[in-house]
């Protein structure tokens, strides 16, 4: 079995680029939407190589009551929500809690982040666009799921999910709901992001803001 470990984040892009060119994905009307802060640098590199504009979708995890390590849902900056119904049923968590917490996370985390890091601007219109959703690593599928809902509501032309690694079952699900999926390494026994990217370092607010200012809503 092939051991997948990326010493540098950028190492994961080579196989992705090969897949994009092999699939002959449409680039003229495309926009890349990054959905994970930890992958924003790779998203910038990928957008530059493909010569497409880039955007960032702010999302926030909703945790179970009294257990911040247990993610039960994700909310996006347009207030779309994806819920893990199996977990909320197992822990007897009410939908009122989930929606209330989603509103709180939106007001206390997403909006301030958007004002600080994107000058308060809303996500640019994706209507009629061929959208490339990029995440450095899809783990639970919540984040990319809420991004797909956002794209559908914005009436995009097509959705391509892009990530170097993800669990194989999530890969198979995405293949059913997206127009294309570019993932060189769908992994049957997925471990964690830290396992496949052992040197992954957090990006500072200053670095993140600089990348957003350089790239978002820039037409090519």
Low pLDDT (below 50) residues in the chain: 1, 218-220
Do 112 and 96 lie in one domain? The reply is yes
Non-local CB neighbours of 1 within 8 Å, separated by 6+ positions: none
> What is the pTM (predicted TM-score) of this model?
0.91
Our count of domains for the chain comes to 2
CA distances from 144 to 59, 88, 94, 159 (A): 10, 19, 23, 11
Do 132 and 38 lie in one domain? The reply is yes
Do β-strands 54-56 and 30-34 pair in parallel, antiparallel, or remain unpaired?
parallel
Do 34 and 143 lie in one domain? The reply is yes
Do 47 and 70 lie in one domain? The reply is no
Write down which residue in 105, 122, 139 finishes a domain: 122
Write down which residue in 122, 138, 165 finishes a domain: 122
Q: What is the pLDDT of residue 43?
A: 94
Write down which residue in 73, 106, 122 finishes a domain: 122
**Domain with 29 in it: what CATH number?**
3.40.50.2020
DSSP state, 39? G
Do 15 and 115 lie in one domain? The reply is no
Q: What is the pLDDT of residue 1?
A: 47
Do 97 and 165 lie in one domain? The reply is no
Do 210 and 186 lie in one domain? The reply is yes
The domain in which residue 9 lies consists of 1-57+126-219
Do β-strands 158-162 and 81-83 pair in parallel, antiparallel, or remain unpaired?
unpaired
Do 157 and 190 lie in one domain? The reply is yes
Name the residue among 42, 46, 120, 39 with its Cα closest to residue 77: 120
The answer to whether residues 168 and 13 touch, using CB atoms and an 8 Å cutoff, is: no
Q: What is the pLDDT of residue 118?
A: 86
Do 215 and 134 lie in one domain? The reply is yes
pLDDT digits (tens, 9 = 90+) for 112-137: 999 988 888 889 999 999 999 999 98
Do 133 and 44 lie in one domain? The reply is yes
pLDDT digits (tens, 9 = 90+) for 80-98: 999 999 999 999 999 999 9
Largest CA distance in the chain: 49
Do 9 and 101 lie in one domain? The reply is no
Three-state DSSP class for residue 20: helix
Do 140 and 51 lie in one domain? The reply is yes
């Amino acid at each position: 079995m092939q051991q997948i470990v990326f010493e540098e984040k950028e190492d994961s892009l080579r196989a992705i680029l090969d897949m994009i060119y092999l699939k002959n994905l449409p680039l003229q009307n495309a926009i890349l939407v990054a959905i994970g802060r930890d992958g924003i640098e790779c998203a910038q590199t990928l957008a530059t190589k493909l010569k497409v504009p880039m955007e960032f979708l702010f999302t926030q995890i909703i945790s179970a009551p009294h257990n911040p390590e247990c993610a039960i849902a994700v909310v996006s900056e347009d207030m779309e929500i994806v819920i893990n119904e199996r977990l909320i049923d197992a822990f007897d968590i009410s939908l009122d809690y989930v929606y209330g917490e989603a509103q709180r996370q939106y007001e206390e985390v997403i909006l301030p982040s958007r004002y600080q890091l994107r000058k308060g601007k809303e996500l640019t219109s994706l209507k009629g666009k061929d959208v490339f959703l990029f995440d450095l690593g899809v783990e639970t599928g919540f984040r990319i799921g809420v991004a797909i809902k956002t794209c559908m509501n914005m009436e995009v032309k097509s959705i391509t999910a892009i990530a170097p690694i993800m669990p194989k079952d999530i890969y198979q699900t995405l293949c059913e709901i997206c127009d294309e999926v570019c993932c060189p390494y769908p992994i049957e026994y997925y471990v964690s992001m830290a396992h496949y990217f052992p040197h992954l370092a957090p990006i500072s607010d200053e670095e993140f803001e600089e990348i957003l200012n350089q790239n978002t809503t820039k037409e090519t």
